[in-house]
Structure 1
Amino acid sequence: MCIPSKPNKYGLKMQCLADAKTHYVYNTYLYCGKNADGLTLTEEKKQPIPLQTCLRLYQTILSSNRNITIDNWFTKDFTIANYVPKKNKSVLLVSSMHDGNSMDESTNKPEIILQYNSTKAGVNAVDQMYSVYSSSRRTRRWPMPILYRLLDISALNAYIIQQSHERASKMTRMTFLKGLTKSLCEPYMKERCYNQRLPAQLRTNIATALQIRLPTPSEPGESQKLDRNKRKRCSFCKPVKRAKTVHLCICMTCAKLFAVPTCL
């Protein structure tokens, strides 16, 4: 869909519920349009689309004594406040939380204005944090952007939870994402590093990145023992130059055959 007021005008729209202070994402879902938005809803299906969105998003914080700040897309019977900060400039706000025209003495502004200004940038701040460190890549398959955004949401929530811990060491988001990426990839990389069917150079690169040593065989097996009467191929020569020769040795690190002296 197209939203001209956003930096990225075209794309998939995801409705999001985020904390205004910590920017933790509580709930989100993909908005599929007016006709398809109520397919998974039951009692709320006949309600207006903005109300359906609220009913779907706030389920995770229901009965938690929290206040939700929304924009003008969501409408209902609210308390209306008219604030004129400058001449010929009028600001209209609606609220179901405030009663009357209560003013703040220090700033001489209505409490509705202060409440809205302090909580209005929750989702926009989340979008800005996504754009700084994003896993999104160019693709022509529409499910992939959804997967990339879910990865970004999970990584951001993990960082917020880690930083909210009292004994957690303060670190930048980049450092946290690097450590998170390494911890997620390390088990898979170790599994590939010990796979004897992979190229030796690839296994060596993985071992160097993980700072580990490749498994060293205690003694070559019967199938690995070098037969001087048979010609075999070197495991390290390029495929175009991999010729058979009898001048081979067995590497004690990876148990591969290499030519002497070209591959020493």
Structure 2
Amino acid sequence: MPRVSDKEIAAYLEELEGSEDGLDDSSSECEDEVSYYANAREVIADLEEQDDETEQVDSGENDAEHDDREDRDPPLVNEEPEGLAVSMSDNDFNKFLGVLIYTSVIKYPSTRLYWSNKYGYEPIKKTMPQKSQELSRDNPSRDKLYKIRPVIDTLNDRFSQIPLDQSLSIDEQMCATKMSHYIKQYLPNKPHKWGFKLYLLCSLLGYAHKFEIYTGSNGQNIPDHNEPDLGEAGNTVVRLARIVPRRVGHIITFDNFYTSLPLVTYLAKEGIFSLGTVRINRLRNCKLPDKKALMKRNIPRGFYEENVANVDGIDVSAVVWKDNKPVNLLSTYVGAEPATTVTRFDKTKKERVPISCPKVVREYNAHMGGVDLLDSFIGRYHITMKSRKWTMRLFYHLLDLSVINAWIMYKKVQIQTDCDMAKLNLCNFRLDLAESLCRVGIPANGPKRGRPSSNLPVELDLKRYRSNAQTTPAKDIRLDQTAHWAVWLEKQQRSTIVDG
């Protein structure tokens, strides 16, 4: 409705006063008691009072409605603030881990098929219902991994309790995923190019003693007060090497992404030997021949050259070796001599020929490869459950990493104790581990739920499944009316009991 101005109200009242009826005529009869306004202000004041009364009536109705709601039954599901996780006991969490390990071996195209009534996997269906579980959340801080930081710290603490072997290697690993997240990396030279990058310290057997998830150059990787600043890659090696005992002969091997002259000299001062391939531009005033000179035809395959220098009281050996391409290596404990021979295929002679190989190359090939071996173990059986949460994807990868570490320790104990029992391969080890976790806290005969069933068909089915007889075909196959004729025998056969 259009709003009436004060002037229009005043003109309307003047018109009423000048009418024939007369507003002041007391002889006029009215059935209802009516009040008249002297001016426009009284009309506006009366309208405002009516609005106040209407609001009071509405508020009273709302209060009554609120009281009625309080008297009603509570909702079936309690509404919790968004972000709170579902609470679970230790047994429930163990079952959750067991289900995840089952899925790494028994692979279905969809996660929901594990709980399907027709095609579902019984050990998983009996363990827990189809219900999503989430990790608890804490208040965010400067740490980008604060949501899973307790898991990372706990696993690193457990992994580092195992005594370290003499030969260790440091390399990066990819947790493959293409989900959108700011810490996701792209490494074109890796088999899985997209994912979260991890730095690992591994033994020759593939056991991960310590790991670190890369979150970017954001100032968090600042070294301690007694550690030098060696750059992003060098500081990563220094942090991973904190758990390595000093001056007991440990050797750390890494590739050219980490190797630098300040890094190897610092590790040598700490009592840790190091070896790694190196980029030639990181060796200042190096007199080794460059790639252009080595790739000439007059230089034979197998040519090598070594330069030794003393840097801050540490003897450092730099070696270049020509294979298919030149390879540069830097070491603080081994050099080129004594050289050995290896065989390579010669395209001109169409046969394998022996060439010279420096000792430092043999050492590098023998000690570098623990992380790659761990990657091959994870690639055989890994958790394939999909999730939109980056925390769950990293949690699945860390769970696979923990299972591989447990399997490596199992094999190591079997060798040290000379156990006569057959060793479990990775597949059987995962299945046994998943079964053990799923049956935690459950009686041997299975859980009893509800009253005993009085349904005869159900009892017959259960009895049939307990027997070792051949399973009954599906209903569609039994009733297809094809090739189910009786076979008549010439002589009746009876079952015999062999005395034994």
Give, in angstroms, the shift of residue 187 of structure 1: 1.1
Q: Distance in 2 between matches of 1:162 and 1:155?
A: 10
Corresponding residue for residue 218 of structure 1: none
Corresponding residue for residue 92 of structure 1: 328
Is contact 1:159–1:176 with CA below 8 Å preserved after alignment? Answer: yes
Give, in angstroms, the shift of residue 61 of structure 1: 2.3
Give, in angstroms, the shift of residue 156 of structure 1: 0.7
Match of 1:73 among 227, 233, 257: 257
State the secondary structure of the residue aligned to 2:253. coil
Corresponding residue for residue 11 of structure 1: 195
Aligned length: 201
Q: Distance in 1 between matches of 2:235 and 2:403?
A: 28
Corresponding residue for residue 232 of structure 2: 49
Which residue type is aligned with residue 200 of structure 2? C
* 1:161 and 2:161 aligned: no
Q: Distance in 2 between matches of 1:98 and 1:90?
A: 19
Is contact 1:31–1:37 with CA below 8 Å preserved after alignment? Answer: no
Is contact 2:340–2:359 with CA below 8 Å preserved after alignment? Answer: no
Q: Distance in 2 between matches of 1:47 and 1:109?
A: 31
Corresponding residue for residue 176 of structure 1: 429
Is contact 2:198–2:211 with CA below 8 Å preserved after alignment? Answer: yes
Q: Distance in 1 between matches of 2:366 and 2:190?
A: 21
1:129/1:179 CA distance change after superposition, 3 Å: same
* 1:208-244 CA-partner distances (Å, limit 9, x unpaired): xxxxxxxxxxxxxxxxxxxxxxxxxxxxxxxxxxxxx
Q: Distance in 1 between matches of 2:203 and 2:361?
A: 18
Give, in angstroms, the shift of residue 179 of structure 1: 0.8
Corresponding residue for residue 35 of structure 1: 218
* 1:130-153 CA-partner distances (Å, limit 9, x unpaired): 011112422211011211111111
State the secondary structure of the residue aligned to 1:92. strand
Larger radius of gyration: 2
Q: Distance in 2 between matches of 1:29 and 1:263?
A: 53
Is contact 1:17–1:25 with CA below 8 Å preserved after alignment? Answer: yes
1:147/1:263 CA distance change after superposition, 3 Å: closer
Q: Distance in 1 between matches of 2:318 and 2:386?
A: 45
Give, in angstroms, the shift of residue 181 of structure 1: 1.0
* 1:2-52 CA-partner distances (Å, limit 9, x unpaired): 0001111111011111112x111111011111115416x533584411121
Q: Distance in 1 between matches of 2:235 and 2:443?
A: 47
Q: Distance in 1 between matches of 2:443 and 2:251?
A: 47
* 1:68-91 CA-partner distances (Å, limit 9, x unpaired): 1111111321531011236xx322
Which residue type is aligned with residue 255 of structure 2? D
The within-5 A match list for 1:105-184 is 105=340, 107=342, 108-165=356-413, 166-168=417-419, 169=421, 170-184=423-437
* 1:57-112 CA-partner distances (Å, limit 9, x unpaired): 122223252211111111321531011236xx32211222224x312345542111
1:85/1:45 CA distance change after superposition, 3 Å: closer
Corresponding residue for residue 23 of structure 1: 206
State the secondary structure of the residue aligned to 2:439. helix
Say which is worse superposed, 170-179 or 43-52, in terms of deviation.
43-52
State the secondary structure of the residue aligned to 1:27. strand
Is contact 2:202–2:371 with CA below 8 Å preserved after alignment? Answer: yes
Which residue type is aligned with residue 4 of structure 1? P
Corresponding residue for residue 241 of structure 2: 58
Of structures 1 and 2, the one scoring higher in RCO (CA 8 A, sep 6+) is 2
Gaps of 5+ in 2: 1-184, 262-315, 343-355, 460-500
1:184/1:91 CA distance change after superposition, 3 Å: same
Q: Distance in 2 between matches of 1:13 and 1:262?
A: 55
Q: Distance in 2 between matches of 1:16 and 1:135?
A: 20
* 1:104 and 2:335 aligned: no
Which residue type is aligned with residue 70 of structure 1? F
* 1:186 and 2:434 aligned: no
Which residue type is aligned with residue 180 of structure 1? L
* 1:163-210 CA-partner distances (Å, limit 9, x unpaired): 11124432211111111111111115559x53636xxxxxxxxxxxxx
Is contact 2:187–2:194 with CA below 8 Å preserved after alignment? Answer: yes
Is contact 2:201–2:240 with CA below 8 Å preserved after alignment? Answer: yes
Q: Distance in 2 between matches of 1:62 and 1:42?
A: 18
1:182/1:29 CA distance change after superposition, 3 Å: same
1:190/1:55 CA distance change after superposition, 3 Å: farther
1:149/1:42 CA distance change after superposition, 3 Å: same
Give, in angstroms, the shift of residue 257 of structure 1: 5.4
Q: Distance in 2 between matches of 1:263 and 1:61?
A: 61
1:2/1:85 CA distance change after superposition, 3 Å: closer
Say which is worse superposed, 152-161 or 101-110, in terms of deviation.
101-110
Q: Distance in 2 between matches of 1:34 and 1:263?
A: 62
- Seq. identity, %: 24
- Output the TM-score relative to the length of structure 2: 0.37
